[in-house]
Structure 1
Amino acid sequence: MAHLTCFSCSLIIFSLSFLTLSNAVYYQVTNEDPDTPGGRNFTEIIGFEYAKEVMYVTNDFIWNTVFEQYSLEDRKPVDTVDLFMKDFKDMHPGVAAEVWEKNKINFNVNTFNGVPSDMLKRVFTSIMYHEMTHVFQWNGEGLAPGGLTEGIADYTVIRANYVDVATYTKPGEGDRWDEGYGVTARFLEYCDTLTPSFVAKLNKLMRPTYDVSFFQELTGKSVEQLWDDYKTYYGQTR
């Protein structure tokens, strides 16, 4: 593969296909703004090859470790995942990346601003664990609360040991179980201690639909009781 050194190109695309447990998934990465500081950081420090490897590894981790989907029938049918690296000026400054049109990930290269060069790969990988989860998770055909789906995506990042423990949400923090991100992810961690593979089982139930009663079905307790117990366990009050 030729080393890319010219940044005057308006578009750089790198594609690769991996075979993952009999599932051929085609990954494509497009750097739409290679002349920007973030775009250069991506090409020079992270690189297309590393990005493809991260997509493959996170895909495999989500299927086999988080969702425990060992058969093709259990998995969401995904043939292609597209990653677009771009200076998204219209994206909220606090948003690092987002999934749109099902299997397309927009990654804001401005996320790299101010990040030490030796931390860029870790930051990129952590975000990809989250976003790739959105690609492969079930969401009750759109009925699941956004806070829950975001929490499951962050739960993947925790399981992969890609959170900054010094700054990340601590167990017991938060105001609502469906607050999303770290708050919900930590709550799901707790549910896992009550029902092994809780998140995998919950994701499976959310394939055709969503109902809050799934928490009761899996643990014997309502989600509100679980939240109360969770807060009490960590010495917090509602």
Structure 2
Amino acid sequence: MKRSLLTLSMICLLFCFGANAQQDQMIKRGDYTLVFINNSKIISEELAQNIVNTFFEVYPKMVTEYNPEATKKVTILIDLNYKKVAVSGKGKITLGALWMQQHPEDTDLVTHELVHIVQDFKALGPEWLIEGLADCGRFQYGLNNAAADWSLPSLSSYQSYKMGYRVAARFLLWVNKFQESSTIFQLNTALKYNTYSADSWKEITGKSLDELWALYLQNNDID
């Protein structure tokens, strides 16, 4: 009887381990490889596939446009133990499983983080600018922004470019459209090679950052 109970216990342990085991996949399409790791059971197969498809759809385009030297191999981890939204660095993106479960349409969160991967900046620049550029990438390459109810905000008097993210992205896109069409590319390049400074704005556009913001407040249309 004791031996039977022991055997049954071992079977249960193996079953439980298998049910909670980390799911690792290495997926290769052309020159690009995705290591996809899911340590949770709360993400649907459809959502997981949408995340994978987002990588292969948007990342090669980013590499071609902004950094042909960027890594062609990226890891995406969906982590049940990560309680925040997302973080990226050194070719790896970690997504909070709970966030993704609760916001299954927000797959372009991956697009935002992939911009950070492709930027591969050699030094830290202003956080508002780095996050603003990443949301420019989400705006440009995003596949599911509308379904996720993600859009660039209308300009309000309380805003500042220092708020970063979508606020800064709208400003950067305006500068790129109405002042100098290579602004976003040149800012990415300057940050990548650690040549960015406060003077970069005048070197690129002929105007200082604060002068550009003042003009933006007068005419903020990017449509």
* Distance across 2 between alignment mates of 1:204 and 1:219: 15
Q: Aligned pair 1:32/2:39, yes or no? A: yes
* Distance across 1 between alignment mates of 2:204 and 2:81: 40
Closer/same/farther in 2, CA of residues 222 and 153 from structure 1, 3 Å limit: same
Cα distance, 1:207 vs. partner? 2.2
Q: 2:48 is matched by which residue type in structure 1?
A: G
Cα distance, 1:167 vs. partner? 5.9
CA RMSD of aligned residues (A): 2.5
Q: 1:103 is matched by which residue type in structure 2?
A: G
Aligned length: 200
Closer/same/farther in 2, CA of residues 113 and 11 from structure 1, 3 Å limit: closer
Closer/same/farther in 2, CA of residues 114 and 99 from structure 1, 3 Å limit: closer
Q: Deviation string for 1:57-101 (max 9, x for gaps)?
A: 11122134xxx24xxxx5343142100011135x33xxx21103x
Q: Aligned pair 1:132/2:114, yes or no? A: yes
Cα distance, 1:142 vs. partner? 2.0
DSSP 3-state at the match of 1:26: strand
Cα distance, 1:147 vs. partner? 1.3
Q: 1:130 is matched by which residue type in structure 2?
A: H
Match of 2:138 among 142, 150, 157: 157
- 8 Å Cα contact 2:133/2:172 also seen in 1: yes
Gaps of 5+ in 1: 1-6
DSSP 3-state at the match of 2:40: coil
Q: Aligned pair 1:15/2:19, yes or no? A: no
Q: Aligned pair 1:88/2:73, yes or no? A: no
DSSP 3-state at the match of 2:59: helix
Q: 2:33 is matched by which residue type in structure 1?
A: Y
Q: Which has the larger radius of gyration?
A: 2
Q: 1:61 is matched by which residue type in structure 2?
A: K
Q: Deviation string for 1:171-222 (max 9, x for gaps)?
A: 4245322321101100111111111132112212222112122111111100
* Distance across 2 between alignment mates of 1:85 and 1:79: 20
Closer/same/farther in 2, CA of residues 234 and 106 from structure 1, 3 Å limit: same
Closer/same/farther in 2, CA of residues 129 and 46 from structure 1, 3 Å limit: same
Q: 2:210 is matched by which residue type in structure 1?
A: E
Match of 2:88 among 82, 94, 99: 99
Q: Aligned pair 1:226/2:212, yes or no? A: yes
Aligned to 1:109: 97
Closer/same/farther in 2, CA of residues 218 and 186 from structure 1, 3 Å limit: same
Q: Choose between structure 1 and 2: higher helix proportion.
A: 2
* Distance across 2 between alignment mates of 1:163 and 1:230: 24
DSSP 3-state at the match of 1:190: helix
Q: Deviation string for 1:83-137 (max 9, x for gaps)?
A: 0011135x33xxx21103x11110111113444xxxx3x422x111101001001
Q: 1:82 is matched by which residue type in structure 2?
A: T
* Distance across 1 between alignment mates of 2:109 and 2:150: 15
Aligned to 2:61: 61
Closer/same/farther in 2, CA of residues 208 and 160 from structure 1, 3 Å limit: closer
Aligned to 1:186: 170
DSSP 3-state at the match of 1:195: coil
List aligned pairs for 1:200-215, cutoff 5 A. 200-209=185-194, 210-215=196-201
- 8 Å Cα contact 2:22/2:40 also seen in 1: yes
